């Protein structure tokens, strides 16, 4: 019983360090700063920006049915926690020539929250 309890605590600690963001706060960031241009659910509309369903683990610029910039297609990015945060911190710095007209999320805490939320909401 003691061993079992210890294992649970270790499990929680690992999860907390891997995901420092808060998904509920991340949802607010998304609603305020991304939602005007992006949908997240499976089969969601391509609007100004591409639908982001399944984006983690995918190569940039390969979502079907959206006309990406050449810069995005040739960026060679695969979306993970780090590339997602880097791109949304400074879209034009990370992908010069991207047609995502967005200044970037400058607060690290907001970025962490956003990435945690996106990971859940795009699955
Ligand atoms: C003004 C509209 C607009 C806003 C606001 C915007 N985006 Fe985008 N986004 C785009 C467009 C357009 C593209 C396509 C970029 C290209 O092809 O260069 C894009 C591309 C992306 C991609 C790459 C998708 C792929 O499949 O490769 C991600 C990820 C992304 N946006 C996330 C976000 C997040 C997160 C936010 C909010 C912090 C955000 N965007 C805000 C318009 C927007």
Q: Give me the chain's average pLDDT, please.
A: 90
pLDDT at 13: 43
Q: Which residues of the chain have pLDDT under 70?
A: 1-19
Ligand 1 centroid–CA 48 distance in Å is 8
Ligand 1 centroid–CA 50 distance in Å is 7
pLDDT at 20: 82
The Cα–Cα gap between 95 and 87 comes to: 7
């Amino acid at each position: 019983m003691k061993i079992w309890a210890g294992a649970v605590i270790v499990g929680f600690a690992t999860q907390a360090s891997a995901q420092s963001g808060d998904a509920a706060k991340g949802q607010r960031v998304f609603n305020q700063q991304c939602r005007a241009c992006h949908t997240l659910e499976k089969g969601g509309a391509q609007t100004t920006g591409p639908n982001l369903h399944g984006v983690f683990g995918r190569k940039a610029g390969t979502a079907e049915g959206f006309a990406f910039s050449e810069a995005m297609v040739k960026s060679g990015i695969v979306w993970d926690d780090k590339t997602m945060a880097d791109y949304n911190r400074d879209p034009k710095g990370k992908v010069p020539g991207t047609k995502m007209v967005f200044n970037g999320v400058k607060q690290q805490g907001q970025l962490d929250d956003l990435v945690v939320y996106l990971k859940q909401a795009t699955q």
